[in-house]
Amino acid sequence: MVARLVLATRNPHKVVELRPILLSAGVTVELVGMDQFPDVLDVVEDGLTFAANAAKKAREVAQATGLPAVADDSGLCVDALNGMPGVFSARWAGLHGGDRANVELLLAQLGDVADADRAAHFACAAALALPSGDERVAEGRIDGLVIRAPRGEGGFGYDPIFTPVGSSLTLAEIPAAEKNVISHRSQAFRALAPALRDLVVP
């Protein structure tokens, strides 16, 4: 019997992205998103670190659903902005700003910053919580640069303006299979995989 695992998000992109990452890490589960649980309230992400937010989301969803839950919190940390938007990445342009508004605001804020000074990294914390209260957290990171205009149709969030170190392509231009190998989210969930295999997989 395949274990059911809840990903604490209503973002279908994240569910689709995580399935092959877990499979390639040897974790065979039935991964479902929060759209399967419409009566469960969204978790308020009020932590000041990615790890705190991820752990809170996983913990509250595990308690609400009675199933093992995983969650992640991730964001873009720009050196020239002292590590911001960081944990505020998803709402950088306001609570209802959306991806396009967030990207446009960030590019405007970096308008006078020289290309050589646009270093940034994507960070991700991935958390696993069981209804019993057991928890694990792992982290991942990918370094690169913020470019001056969006490129690519893939990915989401800030992917179209971020080129990883060693690549001229943005994360939105890199094929999904390749992105799933190098991304910050992939790194975090791969680091979490041993705990998933030990605590969730039958």
In order, the DSSP letters of 60-117 are HHHHHHSS-EEEEEEEEEEGGGTTEEGGGGGGTT-TT-HHHHHHHHHHHHTTTS-GGG
**Residue numbers of the domain that contains 26:** 4-199
Task: Please count the other Cβ atoms lying within 10 Å of the Cβ belonging to residue 66.
Answer: 9
Q: What was the pLDDT predicted at 14?
A: 83
- Euclidean distance between CA atoms 13 and 101, whole angstroms: 18
Q: What percent of the chain has pLDDT over 90?
A: 83
Q: Which residues are catalytic?
A: 73
What is the number of domains present in the chain?
1
pTM of the model: 0.91
Q: What is the CATH number of the domain that holds 55?
A: 3.90.950.10
CA 29, CA 200: separation in Å to the nearest integer?
8
pLDDT digits (tens, 9 = 90+) for 94-146: 977 799 999 999 999 999 999 999 999 999 999 999 999 999 999 999 999 99
Contact 201, 195 (CB under 8 A): no
